[in-house]
A and B are shown apart, each in its own frame.
Chain A
Amino acid sequence: MSTRDSIPASATAELAPARVGPVHDDGRRRVLARLVRTPLGAASVALTTVLCLVGLLAPALAPHDPFAIVGPSLDPPSLDHPMGTDGLGRDLFSGVVLGTRTSLTVAGGVGMLVLAIGGAVGLLAGYRGGWTDHVLMRLAELLQVLPRFFLAIVVIALFGPGLDRLVLVLGLTSWPILARVVRSEVLSLKEREFVDAARAGGAGPARIVMREILPNALPTAVVYVGLLLAQVLLVEASLGFLGLGDPNVASWGYLAGQAQRFLRVAWWLSVFPGLAIATAVVALNLLGDALTDALGRPGGGGGRGR
């Protein structure tokens, strides 16, 4: 475990290299503590946690099957139906609760793909440099110019609607920004002393990348993934709104799309699904901001800088 001595777990842990074993956990705990110290940071953590819980427990929390007719048509919000019912008398609250799961599934899937592809590409491009770097970054540029939303529509038109292809097309086109972030992290990390130390200790490139560079580039990457997923939620909702989502699961966008016909008579059909989307996106954005502050301002902690 001699190489462990030189691995800083995070930017702040590096300040105290004397403490060996617990540095890792301590650094993480400190980031979390700093994250919840500001009101906005605490709010974002709380909101994200609630959303994840609702998504996980959705079938238990939803009082009804969102596709079952359980009440009068277009019933305004009441105790029986907290968010009212739709044109067919289906419970909107159940739809919104189960929609959380759909949105989180898509966001989670895209997030994992983006972390895997963007992380791998960024590590490779940054560490190898030269020709590899050039080709990979060109590819990233191409994908960044590509209109993602329209590409998703083309894929749905050709392959039919479904969450799997939606996750694939969004994941395969969203990684460039993360690859860039990881690449620039790697570029600066690979010149650092602890990497030199590992190399002098006889560690091969694979070990250096996986054990020394990756853990240090990860925090920044996670922040960007969070911000990216906020965008993914909006894209998924827009596609659902246009009726291009998976017809077999409830989704926020689909619910809002159904509301369009009833705008004159049933405001609740539009207001609640939209509110759910906006809340999720705000939570992810705030979490991203708070994480940036928590990771990037050692000792500062309070306030949002500028």
Chain B
Amino acid sequence: MTRRYVLGRLVQVVPTVAGILVIGFLLIHLAPGDPVLALAGENGDAAYYSFVRAKFGLDEPLANQLLTYCANVLGGDLGTSYTQGRPVLDIVVERLGATLLLTGTALVVSTAGGLALGLLAASRPRGGRDIAVTTMSLGLYAAPVFWVGQVSILVLALGTGWFPVSGMTTAGSDASGLAHAADVAHHLVLPVLVLAAQEIAAVARLTRAGLIDELGQDHIRTAWAKGAPPRIVLMKHALRRALLPVVTVIGGRVGHLVAGTVVVEAVFAWPGIGRLLVTALQARDTPIVLGVFFVVAFSVVLANLVTDLVYTRLDPRIRYR
């Protein structure tokens, strides 16, 4: 039965991916001007434009064009950046590492931090710590990412000098091995905290609500009645079930984090796909913009798929479909 669910969930990916491709295609054709400008960027020459025109079959009927376009994108051909003269996929993959390091770390940090804060708040609802955590998460949830970034630079980088202001490595440093890793880690701290801030707040709210809900249930009352110590009741009996909603939203949080990374990379000059995207926008290099969009969209679909599959393993109650 679980196998059927997994299979069904995998099949669901097909219309989603198709939808993303169609939206990209439609936007290119709805945009003012010749679609070749969107597909090749605005700085090409006539010969290159006619090459792109032939490659995407721009003189053929729209349906054929759509198929050609989908085949190209799914085959990993995201076009060529005219400003860099290289395939878009290569450029994006090159920058992906830095972004994955940033978002991956932020995902881990926000999950752990949010769970910890949620536990802290739920351990005594309406107590001082609860109010502190709730207020803080409301604030973090409302503050725009770039502002948290700027304020943290003002206070923690410029003010105290504890952390570097920007970049991924110290300029001019040729350290390697452990020294290099330590340097990157030092540069990573602020961007990760800033990127994770909003998600920490979201996870803390979710954990707190789940825990408080769970603490009112019968099996918890039984645990109390047995004389189990509070920490065991909270950590063992309640947390296990309160974790489920936290897992469910991981897929969606990946989407938020990747969107946040564009802003964080701009604030901290972090050399990932976010900065690539902003630079490409300024240079009107649309193939890169579209390429980043597809890579991000497909990654989010993948993250949602993985989350759902992990979730089925965690929660035995889901066996339908």
Contact = CB atoms under 8 A, between A and B. Distances in A.
Given A145-B304, A153-B293, A306-B212, A158 B286 contact: yes
| Residue with the highest number of chain A CB atoms closer than 10 Å, among B259, B284, B289 | B259
Contacts of A306: 125, 209, 212-213
Contacts of B301: 145
A141 B280 CA distance: 30
| Residue with the highest number of chain B CB atoms closer than 10 Å, among A146, A154, A155, A244 | A154
Interface residues of B, number: 53
Contacts of B212: 306
A256 interface: yes
A277 B125 CA distance: 29
Nearest to A257: B146
Contacts of A237: 144, 146
B150 A260 contact: yes
Contacts, number: 139
A147 B259 contact: yes
A156 B23 CA distance: 14
Interface string B280-297: 111010100110110011
A234 interface: yes
A159 interface: yes
Given A154-B27, A241-B263, A256-B150, A142 B16 contact: yes
Given A145-B300, A147-B297, A242-B263, A277 B144 contact: yes
Contacts of B284: 157
B63 interface: no
Interface in B263-288: 263, 266-267, 277-278, 280-282, 284, 286
B144 A253 contact: yes
B147 A149 contact: no
A154 B24 CA distance: 9
Contacts of B209: 306
Given A157-B281, A281-B142, A146 B147 contact: no
B144 A285 contact: no
Chain A interface mostly: helix
B54 interface: no
A131 B164 CA distance: 57
B245 interface: no
Interface in B150-199: 150-151, 153-154, 158
Contact of A278 (B139, B158, B296, B297): B139
Given A146-B20, A264-B158, A278 B293 contact: no
Contacts of B286: 157-158
A158 to B, nearest CB: 4
Contacts of A279: 142
Interface in A281-296: 281-282, 285-286
A147 B263 CA distance: 14
A270 interface: yes
A159 B266 contact: no
A145 B16 contact: yes
B138 interface: yes
Nearest to A234: B144
A175 to B, nearest CB: 15
A150 B292 contact: yes
| Residue with the highest number of chain B CB atoms closer than 10 Å, among A153, A243, A286 | A153
Contacts of B292: 150
Interface string B252-268: 00010011001100110
Contacts of A128: none
A158 B38 CA distance: 7
A4 interface: no
Given A157-B280, A278-B144, 4 more contacts: A145-B301, A153-B281, A256-B146, A274-B147
14 contacts: A138-B15, A142-B20, A145-B304, A147-B259, A147-B293, A148-B259, A150-B262, A150-B292, A153-B293, A157-B284, A158-B30, A159-B32, A271-B151, A281-B141
Q: Which 7 A-B pairs have the closest CB atoms?
A: A274-B147, A149-B259, A158-B31, A281-B142, A270-B150, A282-B142, A142-B19
